[in-house]
Amino acid sequence: MAMKVIALAGNPNVGKTTIFNALTGMHQHVGNWPGVTVEKKEGVFEYGGERFLVVDLPGTYSLTAHSIDELVARNFLLNGNPDVVVNVVDATSILRNLYLTMEIFEMGLKNIVIALNKIDLAEKKGIRIDVGKMSKVLGVPVVPLSAKKGEGLGELKEAIIRVAHGEVEENPIIPHYDPEVEREIEHISRVLEGTKLASKYPLRWLAIKLLQRDEEVIKLVERYLGKEGLESVMTHINEVEERYGKAMDLVIAGQKYEFIDGLTHEFMSYGQASGDVLADQLDRLLIHPVYGFIAMAIVFYGVFKFVFAFGLPLQNWLAEAFTLFGNWLAPHIANQALRGLIVDGIIGGVGMVLSFFPLVFLLFFALSFLEDFGYMARVAVLMEGILRKFGLPGKSIIPLILGLGCNVPAVMSTRTLDDEKDRLVTMFVNPFIPCSARLSVISFLSAIFFGKDSALVAASIYVLAFAVALGSAWLVSRFVSGESSPFVIELPEYLIPSGKSLLVHSWERSKEFVQKAGTVILLGAIFIWYLSNYPAPVGTGRSYAEQIGHFFEPYMRLMGLDWRAAVSLLFGIIAKENVISTLGVIYGSPEAIRDAMTPLQGYVLMAVTTLYIPCIATIGAIKAESNWKWAALTTAYMITVASIIGILIWHLGIALGW
């Protein structure tokens, strides 16, 4: 027998994830909804020997057709036939939360459980809720709980089971509107009645959505009733709106809130509130145009310290362990080609993937903490004004800063952005931000070529990189379709997150990185190994790598560089620090590099190394977060930009007589 399906629906920041974790424990699977890059989380919930599949729907405020997240949630509720729908409601902001609840009720579902979360916080705020009455008024079971403290979870599970077994007679209350609006709903319902469309979707829901001019429902009507059928309905709606002098969606939303307000009076009252003075003060500090930036600098410095102080030693240790393992294994493999493939290609590649794991894990841990604590929303508010000018949302400051450490987790952190368009643009420009590997190349080259002035020169490369990143964001955001969201963001309550949920969350995310980006990195490592060992190893002048270098020599000449730079850059694709080690192998010593190149050539090489291509791990991450096409486009764009800038710097330098 197929497992029964439980769908979790609710607003963002209501503790949906905590409830999901509590139900499923570690039995989770993170993937994507088909065809879109919206995260799909599934898990198994066991109770009394029975197993249920729990599907965590994207957290949304409503179920319109305006965002992919909302469409995904809505389509699952309409077509996914969940056996139970658990609607998580935040007891501290019932009015707004019930807006989504009413949209779910309007879909005609009759297998709903309301998980009234944060009931302890509501009490503290002086909000008194008569749960029994609320359940009676809404017509569905309501279970009060505090998921964070683990209170009420047993009752929630029991309620889910009862609904799943059909033991509860539900009668969800449906919002009623003014008689005039009701008349229009009825009119449209009569037009649609009896059509094939009406047998697939709830009639009243269709009518209301049409009045709200929902794009997806309009498409449905056109498909089932034809152009003329749609036109007659829309003409009617136009007339209605003309009569009202207002858009119907405005009227409906207002009346829905009025209806909800009326309901809440029956089961909710406000007592003496112990005002949230601390939150007010914290908000005043964190989004203040001056202190806010200082606070942000301190917070992200702390995140960096945390991630790299613990992560880098672990990364080096893991990389070392894999090298040792490879060295130990090598003599045991007789066939030379096979040995190279296994030791340098496969073990080297897997080692690299896994050595990223500690960094990625710690970073997600720190980010989840900031997100759950409520800080990310405040940073977004702080940065919105500045970054929006470059076509980026305020929240994209997080991936941009993280990129200074490593672009791989930075690219993965773009999923905290709400819009597809924002995600794509932020991901696209992220590899321009110089990561710590490129910092080592920049500081090495600037030290040998510029001595005393090396810090200033290195800083100029960073300025160049950020300018290119922001300029590219400005450019690319013009071409990516999709409306970026108007800026309104919830400032959630400050909360100290539970350690367990942070661990589960970071573990899932970093595991996913290994699974998704891993293959790309491994294939890349094997490919580069092949190029540098066939038909003869690097150093003989006959390897494919060197042949490629010579092939690109004329191109490199345009920016004053030669085949040696081309080979170094080729190996830098695996990991940027390889640029130095390859130059070292080819030239023999830092002095030899200085003698062979002018400072201008050194500067061009620094600039090009910083901008030329994402490393394969980053390409893997971009592919994992979007698709192959986008990863390829990013790569091609970076090569183009780096070439143009390299050529410009070289010729400008020559003209100025450097």
According to the binding rule CB under 8 A, does residue 422 interact with another protein?
Answer: no
* 130 SS3 class: coil
Of 293-301, 441-449, 487-495, 536-544, which segment contacts another protein by CB under 8 A?
A: 487-495
- Measured torsion, CA atoms of residues 286, 292, 294, 299, in degrees rounded to the nearest 10: 40
Phi-psi region of 90 (alpha: psi -120 to 50; beta: other; left: phi over 0): beta
According to the binding rule CB under 8 A, does residue 178 interact with another protein?
Answer: no
Q: Closest CB to another protein among 93 and 634?
A: 93
In the complex, minimum distance from the CB of residue 302 to another protein, in angstroms, rounded to a whole number: 23
- According to DSSP, the residues that pair with 144 across neighbouring strands are 116
Question: How far is residue 577 CA from its own chain's centroid?
Answer: 27
Q: Closest CB to another protein among 97 and 634?
A: 97
Of 246-254, 444-452, 457-465, 630-638, which segment contacts another protein by CB under 8 A?
A: 246-254
The size of the interface with another protein (CB under 8 A), counted in residues, is: 47
In the complex, minimum distance from the CB of residue 274 to another protein, in angstroms, rounded to a whole number: 14
Candidates 40, 66, 415, 511: give the one binding another protein (CB under 8 A).
66
Of 252-260, 405-413, 507-515, 524-532, which segment contacts another protein by CB under 8 A?
A: 252-260
According to the binding rule CB under 8 A, does residue 247 interact with another protein?
Answer: yes
According to the binding rule CB under 8 A, does residue 162 interact with another protein?
Answer: no
According to the binding rule CB under 8 A, does residue 489 interact with another protein?
Answer: yes
Site for another protein in 350-409 (CB under 8 A): 377, 381-382, 384-385
According to the binding rule CB under 8 A, does residue 294 interact with another protein?
Answer: no
According to the binding rule CB under 8 A, does residue 487 interact with another protein?
Answer: yes
Q: Closest CB to another protein among 260 and 402?
A: 260
**Length of the chain, in residues:** 658
Q: Closest CB to another protein among 186 and 490?
A: 490
Site for another protein in 262-281 (CB under 8 A): 279-280
According to the binding rule CB under 8 A, does residue 64 interact with another protein?
Answer: yes
- Give the Cα separation of 609 and 604 in Å (integer): 8
Candidates 24, 111, 212, 568: give the one binding another protein (CB under 8 A).
212
Rg of the chain taking only CA atoms, in angstroms: 29
Q: Closest CB to another protein among 256 and 576?
A: 256
CA–CA distance from 23 to each of 135, 155, 229 (Å)?
A: 22, 12, 46
Dihedrals phi, psi of 183, to nearest 5 degrees: -65, -40
Q: Closest CB to another protein among 487 and 658?
A: 487
Candidates 35, 48, 331, 486: give the one binding another protein (CB under 8 A).
486
**Which tokens belong to 159?**
């309620």
Of 245-253, 309-317, 558-566, 604-612, which segment contacts another protein by CB under 8 A?
A: 245-253
Residue ranges with strand state E in 511-607: none
- Give the Cα separation of 211 and 252 in Å (integer): 9
According to the binding rule CB under 8 A, does residue 146 interact with another protein?
Answer: no
Candidates 56, 184, 283, 371: give the one binding another protein (CB under 8 A).
283
- Give the Cα separation of 344 and 331 in Å (integer): 13
Candidates 250, 294, 456, 459: give the one binding another protein (CB under 8 A).
250
Candidates 155, 249, 553, 562: give the one binding another protein (CB under 8 A).
249
Q: Between β-strands 39-47 and 50-56, what pairing exists: parallel, antiparallel or unpaired?
A: antiparallel
First to last CA, the chain: 77
Quick note: the x/- pattern for another protein over 34-63, rule CB under 8 A, is --------------------------xxx-
Dihedrals phi, psi of 507, to nearest 5 degrees: -60, -45
Q: Closest CB to another protein among 264 and 443?
A: 264
Site for another protein in 82-101 (CB under 8 A): 92-96, 99-100
In the complex, minimum distance from the CB of residue 92 to another protein, in angstroms, rounded to a whole number: 6
Candidates 224, 244, 257, 462: give the one binding another protein (CB under 8 A).
257
Quick note: the x/- pattern for another protein over 123-142, rule CB under 8 A, is ----x---------------
In the complex, minimum distance from the CB of residue 65 to another protein, in angstroms, rounded to a whole number: 9
* H, E, C per residue of 267-296: HEEECCCCCCHHHHHHHHHHCCCCHHHHHH
For residue 284, with 0-12 CB atoms within 10 Å meaning exposed, 13-18 middle and 19 or more buried, which class applies?
Answer: exposed
Listing from the earlier edge strand, what are the strands of the sheet with 142-144? 28-32, 39-47, 50-56, 4-10, 84-90, 112-117, 142-144
Q: Closest CB to another protein among 483 and 595?
A: 483
In the complex, minimum distance from the CB of residue 319 to another protein, in angstroms, rounded to a whole number: 43
Candidates 167, 228, 242, 483: give the one binding another protein (CB under 8 A).
483
Give the max Cα distance, the chain: 88
- Give the Cα separation of 514 and 316 in Å (integer): 17
Contact 615, 574 (CB under 8 A): yes
Q: Where are the alpha helices (DSSP H) in 268-414?
A: 277-286, 291-329, 336-340, 348-373, 375-388, 397-402, 407-412
Q: Between β-strands 268-270 and 127-129, what pairing exists: parallel, antiparallel or unpaired?
A: antiparallel
According to the binding rule CB under 8 A, does residue 488 interact with another protein?
Answer: yes
Q: Closest CB to another protein among 345 and 393?
A: 393
- Measured torsion, CA atoms of residues 16, 17, 22, 27, in degrees rounded to the nearest 10: 130
Contact 127, 92 (CB under 8 A): yes
- Give the Cα separation of 442 and 567 in Å (integer): 18
342 C-beta neighbours (distance < 10 Å), count = 17
Q: Closest CB to another protein among 257 and 507?
A: 257
Candidates 51, 246, 389, 500: give the one binding another protein (CB under 8 A).
246
Interaction site with another protein (CB under 8 A): 60-62, 64, 66, 92-96, 99-100, 127, 212-213, 246-247, 249-251, 253-254, 256-258, 261, 279-280, 283-284, 287-289, 377, 381-382, 384-385, 483, 485-492
